Structure 1
Amino acid sequence: MAEVSDSDKALNRALWAVVNERFTDAAAADMWSRPETVWGLFSVPERELGVLGEVRGLDVAELACGTAYFSAWLARAGARTVAVDLSHEQLTTARRMQAQVGPAFPLVQGDGERVPLRSGAYDLVVSEHGAAAWCDPERWLPEAARLLRPGGRLVFLTNSLLSALCVPLEEGVAGERLLRGQREAYRVRWPGGGAEFHPSHGDWVRLLRGSGFVVAALREVYAPAQAHDHTFYEIVSKDWATRWPAEEVWVAVRR
């Protein structure tokens, strides 16, 4: 199975520079100012999913953090967080938010497949719409395991496999028909830019176990009835996501 090439990484980095300029920079203040931890495109509260548990006092690494709002939420809850992302532009926005909104915590520019953090130093590794879609799972999952202490947890959110199967080949919004084979979704390079990974559930279990994890939970995430379509990441509509899971949260424990 093909990994993300250097050219694809450069493409992803350039894509996120554009996304940051057009969308996430303007949205960062809202995300950083939210009073509670939420997940995914439709802001499903952590208190409903219950996948993180108590984070106070934990050492936490966030991979592919974007503008690092998720790390900010965890830091306010008492975690000692460090946030890692490949995009200079996204981290620049995160630094501005630290100065304007707070709190401050380390921000590190780095590749989720080669994380520049020391081994065995963390109790929790998290990634919310980051590493799971944009990094090769055969590379980033062993890195997550390397960062964790024995018994530490990995919690990550990614697009649901079903949504990846239903998005048109030329990009767009998921419909009600399967438009690609399941094995084709493992790695998708979009015509408009960007390379993503969408393993099947069986692949995720195999890859997690092979990296030294025990799967503890899989939560399928739907849009709440009162949700609205996402501002810019329109892979699924709210109406679609109230019928089928738009995203998945996986929880795994380091052996």
Structure 2
Amino acid sequence: MRRDPTWAQLSTARAFQDEFDLHFPLISAAAEMIPFADASFDLVISEYGASIWSDPYRWIPEAARVLRPGGALIFLVNDTLLKLCAEDDENGDWIRLLRRNGFEVEDLIEIRPPDDATSRYKFVSLDWARRWPSEEVWKALKK
């Protein structure tokens, strides 16, 4: 199941489903009010969706609600160094919020480009990105 707030994004998702012959239900809903029963899923993932656009004090409790015990929450956010240059939630805030909603942080990965990567961005070189990653992947398990 994929939850997406806009029909245009769902249209893109449908095209990928057809391209890869991988079909599952698609719905449009806000991350803060997912229309599913408690303990419905083993995995909730946000790749720059709810994790950066929605209020974390509303979407994380909702993710906790729909996850089964032992289920995983995985989400991507901007890395600490990037957050130093812009107002954002601090890692301590994320950890406290996750714990308050029954999660245990299992991993925090700072993403770096692979050795064979190329870049189309002029504002950051590959050397810079390898030294100071700008993205984090958080993995938290529901207790």
The answer to whether TM tops 0.5 is yes
Output aligned runs, 1:5-24, within 5 Å.
Answer: none
Q: Secondary structure at the match of 1:226?
A: coil
- Cα gap change, 1:152 to 1:162, in 2 (>3 Å): same
| Aligned residue identity for 2:35 | P
Alignment match, 1:241? 129
| Aligned residue identity for 2:72 | R
Alignment match, 1:49? none
Q: How far apart in 2 are the matches of 1:86 and 1:109?
A: 5
1:24-48, Cα deviation, whole Å (9 max, x unpaired): xxxxxxxxxxxxxxxxxxxxxxxxx
Give the structure with the higher percent strand. 2
Aligned: 1:94 with 2:13? yes
| Aligned residue identity for 1:226 | D
Per the normalisation by structure 1, the TM-score is: 0.52
Per the normalisation by structure 2, the TM-score is: 0.89
Runs of 5+ in structure 2 lacking a partner?
none
| Aligned residue identity for 2:11 | T
- Cα gap change, 1:108 to 1:114, in 2 (>3 Å): same
- Cα gap change, 1:249 to 1:106, in 2 (>3 Å): same
| Aligned residue identity for 1:254 | K
Alignment match, 1:123? 42
| Aligned residue identity for 2:142 | R
Q: Secondary structure at the match of 1:112?
A: coil
Q: How far apart in 2 are the matches of 1:215 and 1:97?
A: 31
Structure 1 contact 130–158 (Cα < 8 Å) conserved: no
Runs of 5+ in structure 1 lacking a partner?
1-81, 167-179, 187-198
Q: How far apart in 2 are the matches of 1:95 and 1:111?
A: 19
Structure 1 contact 163–236 (Cα < 8 Å) conserved: no
2:90 aligned to 190, 195, 200, which one? Answer: 200
Q: How far apart in 1 are the matches of 2:123 and 2:47?
A: 16
1:127-182, Cα deviation, whole Å (9 max, x unpaired): 2222211111101100110011112111112211312333xxxxxxxxxxxxx4xx
The one of the two structures with greater contact order (alpha-carbon pairs below 8 A, sep at least 6) is 2
2:75 aligned to 151, 156, 161, which one? Answer: 156
Q: How far apart in 1 are the matches of 2:123 and 2:64?
A: 30
How far 1:245 moved relative to its partner?
1.6
RMSD: 2.0
1:81-107, Cα deviation, whole Å (9 max, x unpaired): x00011111101211232343211111
Q: How far apart in 2 are the matches of 1:112 and 1:235?
A: 32
Q: Secondary structure at the match of 1:156?
A: strand
Q: How far apart in 2 are the matches of 1:230 and 1:139?
A: 35
Q: Secondary structure at the match of 1:253?
A: strand
| Aligned residue identity for 1:200 | E
1:57-95, Cα deviation, whole Å (9 max, x unpaired): xxxxxxxxxxxxxxxxxxxxxxxxx00011111101211
Structure 1 contact 230–237 (Cα < 8 Å) conserved: no
